[in-house]
Structure 1
């Protein structure tokens, strides 16, 4: 007789690596791309599996990753967001963007399988709600607690998040120096190098001719520009220039990408106008 299984209440994170399909197609003719993919997925898998294995489960299949925690105490929400931050930042450092959703609900997650309402909800958040290269928190499960935090763990989690008032969701902030410094620590020059990687990804993405792709990189450029702007225009005797030579200069030398984003926005606007015209039957 099969062993009886039951759902558990679990924090459930589902993430998808963007552009993976195109990379897979490249692997057939370029073995270096295959080696790169294997390395990236291995790196992310190692990060996902760090910690006490009794607390969580991890499943990885193709370009998707599922991490879930049995909610024994509220501090675990900080644990899963902290783990998420390392996954997102490491993937970006390796040239990959992630989209995903974090929810709380009924889930069956073992070494062999993962299924349940929470899995369906997390997938829905990733595929239908997040839209941009970001990981969002389920507004149904988390908005009230985050807008009015009463627990220390929730207050700690908010430091990693940004509020998108246009669609009323919280998402993980992988642009600001405060968050990235907390995640990577150590060498202060890591942030300028990280921001340079993001700028390169955005610059390349804004060359696309596909409106749907351009929208994602326009969104990224706006947040990248805000992160960069905080470090530009400081006087020569600014304490940061003195304490960390080259730090501010490295960021100031990065491109703003405003012109590229404006050109991309024109392509998107034109596509939307043509789509609206077709809908009207004109």
Structure 2
């Protein structure tokens, strides 16, 4: 009798909700989390920007979310990153930060059960290297993922990721967040519709603040502010508009750790 293969090669994203303990003790957050986790459970049964997600596996474990897709599928990596973008944007829209990492390797992910070397790698990358509210990926995994882009999805090859100063690439989620914050109606389906310019001020208001308590928290929000400013500047160049008044400065910042309800992230 032949030996069955337990694992299959998959791309996997491990996302962590920063400051989760404090958030779940805040009654004002309960409605959001109920809707957030309900949306996670629906991803496998819906289309996102015309992407069929039926081969996607999603599992939520307390303050963590695991998403994976088989490596053999065409444009599978784009499917994974699209869901990471939407979840990150949904959370940020409510002032909640996600941090994560994407890995490739052997994984078992069926019927809400997930384990394997790829999950361990993604978790350790998130825990030890991601640091900031970003979902990182190693260059070699990114190259493998981009090789799966096919047909109309090729255009997103250079739109899904940015390279950070530490050499890691990360999922470029802020443009989608602008669109989501400026949208009316079904935020899941409006994530990539329109130009998203009307949502910039909403995101700016969420991020605005300075002097967060503790060096670790301060570093995370300084990184987010830098990412926001870079993204807004690039959008201004693309739209041929002066967005300088939308940039976040040191002088105008309040305390984001208080605003976001997170004192230890």
TM-score, shorter chain, exceeding 0.5: yes
Tell me the equivalent position of 2:229.
Answer: 225
1:111-130 superposed matches below 5 A: 111-130=111-130
| SS of alignment partner, residue 256 of structure 1 | coil
1:215 to 216, 219, 233: 219
* Alpha carbons 1:49, 1:58 under 8 Å: kept: no
Query: How many residues are treated as equivalent by the alignment?
Result: 240
| Greater helix share, structure number | 1
| SS of alignment partner, residue 9 of structure 2 | strand
> C-alpha offsets along residues 42-82 of structure 1, whole Å, 9 cap, x if unaligned?
23443465345651211112121111111223421122112
| SS of alignment partner, residue 258 of structure 1 | coil
Tell me the equivalent position of 1:38.
Answer: 34
* Alpha carbons 1:163, 1:170 under 8 Å: kept: yes
| SS of alignment partner, residue 11 of structure 1 | strand
The answer to whether residue 169 in structure 2 is matched with residue 162 in structure 1 is: no
Q: CA RMSD in A?
A: 3.7
1:259 to 207, 226, 251: 251
Whole-angstrom CA distance in 2 between matches of 1:139 and 1:39:
34
The answer to whether residue 141 in structure 2 is matched with residue 141 in structure 1 is: yes
* Alpha carbons 1:47, 1:87 under 8 Å: kept: no
Gaps of 5+ in 2: 181-188, 257-265
Tell me the equivalent position of 2:259.
Answer: none
Deviation at 1:103, TM superposition (A): 1.1
> C-alpha offsets along residues 249-278 of structure 1, whole Å, 9 cap, x if unaligned?
9x66546233256999xxxxxxxxxxxxxx
Mean Cα deviation higher: 137-146 or 81-90: 137-146
> C-alpha offsets along residues 18-57 of structure 1, whole Å, 9 cap, x if unaligned?
221111232xxx3x33223222332344346534565121
Q: TM-score, normalised by structure 2?
A: 0.74
> C-alpha offsets along residues 153-211 of structure 1, whole Å, 9 cap, x if unaligned?
666333111011x32111111234799599724444x4332x2233223224x342211
Tell me the equivalent position of 1:6.
Answer: 6
Mean Cα deviation higher: 134-143 or 254-263: 254-263
- Computing the radius of gyration from Cα coordinates, the structure with the larger value is 1
Whole-angstrom CA distance in 1 between matches of 2:120 and 2:34:
27
Mean Cα deviation higher: 108-117 or 176-185: 176-185
